[in-house]
Amino acid sequence: MRIVKTDCEYFIFLWTAYKRKVRIGLAAALTEEEVFVMLGLLPGIGCLDRNDSGGGIFMGQNKDAQVNLRKVAMIGCGFVGSASAFSLMQSGLFSEMVLIDADQERAEGEAMDISHGVPFAREMKIYAGNYDDITDAAIIIITAGANQKPEETRLDLVHKNVGIFKSIIPEIAKRNCQGILLVVSNPVDILTYTALKLSGFTENRVIGSGTVLDTARLKYELGKHLSVDSKSVHAFIIGEHGDSEIAAFSSANVSGIALSEFCEMRGHYAHDENSRQIAERVKNSAYDIIKKKRATYYGIAMAVKRICEVIIRDEKSILPVSSMMHGAYGLEDVVLSMPAVVGKHGVETQVPIPLDKEEIEKLQKSAETLKEIIRDVEW
């Protein structure tokens, strides 16, 4: 038996073994997509045609239809952008990351600083670039925009950041990018709507980070309240990523047990008051953090990493991302956060979780708040 010596031979060996369904060592534990990601390390391999339903390696003839699953672009190198870039470097999801900022020196500095951590992580090319460098990126992340100040709501940022997006999105659109557009800048629901309208991308390929972080905060608070692992808590924040967000307690559960029932198991009976306090703490988390340290960035950086994982690995996980609504709960032509199945093609389908009457009314009110803002925006 010949020993596989080089990295190149090893990855080809794994791929061949997987395709032949040979149950050997590491190949037996890997999905096709994971082996594909590993193979993306090899020169000339790692392009996927987004129209290819097979999900395998595809060296397309049409360059415009290709994306490099090992490449990510970050537009905006402020607190959120740089923290997200650092998180992605540590994740090992990508082998190439381009950073773009209106301040070129800032982008260069962040690229240098993060690159110096590569010897402690997986090999990765990190550099400051321009819009011509994003054409084959699998995911284009936008964190650019004005920061939220103390006492300022996310919706207060609308006109400043819509103006910034009017300069960014056309640059992306005219390069015929085929990757997923992930909007993180606030107000994320309005800016995701803006990106969708200005880019011409199909709706599934334009995603906002939405209430992924808010939902994590809710799970954290519930886990702490109940003295249980937060990963065993299943609950969502829906609607606007902002002051009108809704904690969907009626559908919340802990490993299949209704939240109210589990609370009583843990000695908590004041359901309404406890729920109100937890929802308020979640909603006000960003304000509290901004008041204390002027910005929030670590939590959202982890949320960005998680969304990227779901897309690149085609996990088809259910995340409360911002996407266009088409009739569910009576909502139309508004972007807000609802649980959705997310995979390599972006949003596959929204998941209409059961809500009680009060939650539906609050959701509709949240949507109307966003629509009023949209009507005032000049496109």
| Torsion angle, alpha carbons of 332, 338, 344, 349, to 10 | -60
* Statement to judge: residues 201 and 128 lie in one domain: yes
Last residue of a domain, one of 171, 186, 208: 208
For residue 2, tell me if it sits in a domain. no
For residue 45, tell me if it sits in a domain. yes
Q: List, in order, residues 6 or more apart from 263 with CB less than 8 Å away.
A: 226, 269, 271, 274
Q: Where are the beta strands (DSSP E) in the chain?
A: 47-49, 66-75, 96-100, 125-128, 137-142, 180-183, 206-208, 233-234, 237-238, 246-247, 253-254, 257-258, 317-326, 332-343, 346-350
Q: Whole-number mean pLDDT of the chain?
A: 87
- Given pLDDT bands bounded at 50, 70 and 90, which one contains residue 3? very low
Lookup: tokens for 341 = 């199945």
For residue 58, tell me if it sits in a domain. no
Q: Cβ distance 75 to 100 under 8 Å?
A: yes
Of 53-62, 182-191, 194-203, the range with the lowest mean pLDDT is 53-62
CATH number of the domain encompassing residue 194: 3.40.50.720
The share of the chain scoring above pLDDT 90, in percent, equals 78
* Statement to judge: residues 356 and 217 lie in one domain: yes
For residue 96, tell me if it sits in a domain. yes
* Statement to judge: residues 263 and 362 lie in one domain: yes
Lookup: tokens for 307 = 């969304």
DSSP conformation letters of 130-190 = -GGGGTTEEEEEE--SPPPPTT--GGGGHHHHHHHHHHHHHHHHTTT--SEEEE-SSSHHH
Give the span between the Cα atoms of 132 and 123, in whole angstroms.
23
Give the span between the Cα atoms of 303 and 207, in whole angstroms.
13
Q: What is the DSSP letter of 327?
A: S
Above 50 in pLDDT, residue 54?
no
Above 60 in pLDDT, residue 121?
yes
pLDDT tens for residues 351-379?
999 999 999 999 999 999 999 999 988 76
Give the predicted TM-score (pTM) of the model: 0.84
* Statement to judge: residues 232 and 346 lie in one domain: yes
Give the span between the Cα atoms of 168 and 291, in whole angstroms.
29
> For tokens 């709507």, what's the residue?
193
For residue 163, tell me if it sits in a domain. yes
* Statement to judge: residues 44 and 102 lie in one domain: no
Last residue of a domain, one of 208, 241, 266: 208
Q: Give me the pLDDT at residue 376, please.
A: 87
pLDDT tens for residues 7-53?
455 455 555 555 554 444 444 455 555 555 554 443 333 444 544 44
For residue 57, tell me if it sits in a domain. no
Q: Give me the pLDDT at residue 15, please.
A: 56
Domain count, the chain: 3
Range of the domain at 27: 7-49
- Given pLDDT bands bounded at 50, 70 and 90, which one contains residue 155? confident
For residue 285, tell me if it sits in a domain. yes
* Statement to judge: residues 42 and 89 lie in one domain: no
Active site residues: 241
Q: Looking at the chain, how many residues does it have? A: 379
Last residue of a domain, one of 177, 208, 239: 208
Give the span between the Cα atoms of 42 and 275, in whole angstroms.
51
